[in-house]
Amino acid sequence: MQSNLHIFNSLTRKKEPFKPLQPPFTGIYVCGPTVYSDTHLGHARPAITFDILFRYLNHLGYKVRFVRNITDVGHLENDADEGDDKILKKARLEHLEPMEVVQKYLDVYHRNMDQLNTLHPSIEPRASGHIIEQQELISELLERGFAYEVNGSVYFDVLKYNEKYDYGKLSGRVLEELQTNTRELEGQGEKRNAFDFALWKKASPEHIMKWPSPWSVGFPGWHLECSAMSFKYLGEVFDIHGGGMDLQFPHHECEIAQSTAARDKAPVRYWMHNNMITIGGQKMARSLGNFITLDQLFAGKHPLLQQAYSPMTVRFFILQAHYRSVVDFSNEALQAGEKGFQKLMKAFSTLEKLKPSDKSTVDVEAIRKRCYEALDDDLNSPVLLSHLFDAVRMINSVSDGTEKLDEKDLASLKELFSIFIIDILGLKDESGTSQDEQLTAGLVNLIIQLRKDARAKKDFATSDKIRNELSKIGIILKDRKDGVDWEKASST
């Protein structure tokens, strides 16, 4: 497997050549959502970032196993004893069975991900389906002395771990500083140290989601699921782990600690973290309440939205920034992205109509080379797009007759657009969807206006012709006393 892909490894804070453990196979684990409310714009960032990675590795010929989990149990609102499970809390609020909450929002997530044209992961494991594996991992940690049980709950012993390994390596934290800086939360009495974290929590009687275990009837801690499921599906050591930067600490740090303590091996070779989407300069997050859901975005229904933005506009907007940069939401930026995306796709259709010349006056191969270089440089999608826009100008110039492409270069350019725009960036033409309907509505309203003008001049011949011809193509006009309605004839 020959590739020159370099990725920025959060662990070393450097760009490193990507060398999988067992080429051509490679494994990716990405932290998916906790499904307790609607998917928002922030969730689109990791989904798209790691979709590009998945697509590019596939394109390069790797056999990729892409695992993205669903957290459907155990994600507490905080680490105190009375911390509520996010899903349980929502279930009470909406008077639903917890698994109804999970199903409801998982469906929304899947639908939104499909709209954004992200590929389905190879495996999408759910935490609640891996209770046994998590319990086994807890047993391993207890046996090895890195965990302790108190009153039916099991906690990870961070101090013990830090004696042998390095807790805080990923996030650049020093345990001594954590000790002095960790905020004291209520009800931490059970834990030996404030920074110890739960592996298993004993359930209170009113808790609904709970399972029997050697320690108590209870439920697993949040950090544990990723260790258990990545072990199961990707092995003790795998290539890439992805997720949002906000998960770096404590989630990923704890994951490293659990996995390393259990098997005496660092579990992940390359850690990749996408940056946040901000709104008004602040992180968009459910907990901050400043989020815009993807459904709102696609429908234009939110006080901050001046219009609807299509899924591909959102995807393009996100790809216009590098995944490790903060990107700020604004209508202006989305609108600029929408125009740019349309320009790109329009050139794509122009490309299909180009006629070859006997010689070329442009260099297609140079662009192809630069496109690969951009992706190889830590998935630099904005630079890739800038090269594709160079190709757009090339296409339009050929279309205008000021540049020429021979048959071979024309075929090469078509292939290049197909590879980078469709296969790797995952962009697709959206005409034929709601945009088409808007167009139809605009056209019909225009024709109705012209007909109204004709009727005002008592030109009923024209007026009737318009109505009849529209009827033939399936548009039914209805003259009402306060105006004209129209509808599409129902096809039988």
Of residues 433 through 462, those in contact with RNA by CB under 7 A are none
Among positions 138-197, residues that touch RNA (CB under 7 A) are 171-173, 177-178, 181-183, 185, 194-195, 197
**Contact code string over 311-330 relative to RNA, x by CB under 7 A:** ---------xxx--xxxx-x
Rounded least distance, CB 248 to RNA, Å: 6
Q: Which stretch in 238-246, 305-313, 413-421, 435-443 sits in contact with RNA by CB under 7 A?
A: 238-246
Distance CA 224, CA 326 (A): 28
Contacting RNA (CB under 7 A), which of 4, 19, 21, 77?
77
Q: Where are the alpha helices (DSSP H) in 116-157?
A: 131-143
Kindly state whether residue 337 participates in binding RNA, applying the rule CB under 7 A.
Answer: yes
Say what angle helices 407-417 and 364-376 make with each other, to 10 degrees: 20
Q: How far is CA 7 from CA 18, 45, 53, in A?
A: 6, 17, 10
Rounded least distance, CB 341 to RNA, Å: 8
Rounded least distance, CB 99 to RNA, Å: 18
Q: What is the DSSP letter of 359?
A: S
Distance CA 266, CA 278 (A): 32
Rounded least distance, CB 31 to RNA, Å: 5
Q: How far is CA 222 from CA 75, 86, 92, 131, in A?
A: 5, 11, 20, 12
Residues 228 and 263: beta-carbon distance below 8 Å: no
Residue 269 or residue 283: which is nearer to RNA going by CB? 283
Kindly state whether residue 386 participates in binding RNA, applying the rule CB under 7 A.
Answer: yes
Distance CA 321, CA 327 (A): 7
Residue 258: name the closest of 354, 137, 436, 85 by CA. 137
**Contact code string over 29-58 relative to RNA, x by CB under 7 A:** --x-xx-------xx-xx------------
Kindly state whether residue 276 participates in binding RNA, applying the rule CB under 7 A.
Answer: yes
Residues 116 and 315: beta-carbon distance below 8 Å: yes
Distance CA 238, CA 272 (A): 13
Rounded least distance, CB 415 to RNA, Å: 20
Kindly state whether residue 486 participates in binding RNA, applying the rule CB under 7 A.
Answer: no
Kindly state whether residue 66 participates in binding RNA, applying the rule CB under 7 A.
Answer: no
Residue 263 or residue 370: which is nearer to RNA going by CB? 370
Q: Which stretch in 269-277, 361-369, 432-440, 470-478 sits in contact with RNA by CB under 7 A?
A: 269-277
Residue 145 or residue 172: which is nearer to RNA going by CB? 172
**Contact code string over 366-385 relative to RNA, x by CB under 7 A:** --------------x-xx-x
Tally of CA atoms within 13 A in the half-sphere of 133 that contains its CB: 18
Residues 141 and 161: beta-carbon distance below 8 Å: no
Rounded least distance, CB 67 to RNA, Å: 14
* Structure tokens belonging to residue 50: 């790691």
Q: Which stretch in 59-67, 144-152, 332-340, 407-415 sits in contact with RNA by CB under 7 A?
A: 332-340
Say what angle helices 407-417 and 381-400 make with each other, to 10 degrees: 140
Q: Which stretch in 70-78, 126-134, 296-304, 482-490 sits in contact with RNA by CB under 7 A?
A: 70-78
74 contacts: CB under 8 Å, gap ≥ 6 = 85, 127, 201, 219, 220, 221, 222, 224, 225
Distance of alpha carbon 400 from the chain centroid: 38
Rounded least distance, CB 61 to RNA, Å: 25
Residue 185 or residue 447: which is nearer to RNA going by CB? 185
Q: Which stretch in 157-165, 390-398, 443-451, 458-466 sits in contact with RNA by CB under 7 A?
A: 390-398
Contacting RNA (CB under 7 A), which of 228, 245, 351, 416?
245
* Structure tokens belonging to residue 102: 């999970």
**SS3 assignment for 56-82:** HHHHHCCEEEEEECEECCCCECCCCCC
Among positions 14-33, residues that touch RNA (CB under 7 A) are 31, 33
Contacting RNA (CB under 7 A), which of 154, 257, 277, 371?
277
Distance CA 339, CA 351 (A): 18
Residue 131 or residue 276: which is nearer to RNA going by CB? 276
Contacting RNA (CB under 7 A), which of 51, 79, 196, 376?
79
Residues 75 and 38: beta-carbon distance below 8 Å: no
Rounded least distance, CB 474 to RNA, Å: 28
DSSP 230-269: HHHHH-SSEEEEEEEGGGIIIIIHHHHHHHHHHHSS--EE
Contacting RNA (CB under 7 A), which of 58, 248, 357, 361?
248
Let me know how long the chain is: 492
Q: How far is CA 290 from CA 181, 215, 294, 303, 331, in A?
A: 27, 40, 13, 11, 15
Kindly state whether residue 249 participates in binding RNA, applying the rule CB under 7 A.
Answer: yes
Kindly state whether residue 86 participates in binding RNA, applying the rule CB under 7 A.
Answer: yes
Q: Which stretch in 339-347, 352-360, 457-465, 480-488 sits in contact with RNA by CB under 7 A?
A: 339-347
Among positions 342-361, residues that touch RNA (CB under 7 A) are 343, 346
Contacting RNA (CB under 7 A), which of 78, 151, 438, 449?
78
Contacting RNA (CB under 7 A), which of 217, 288, 443, 489?
288
* Structure tokens belonging to residue 285: 């997050």
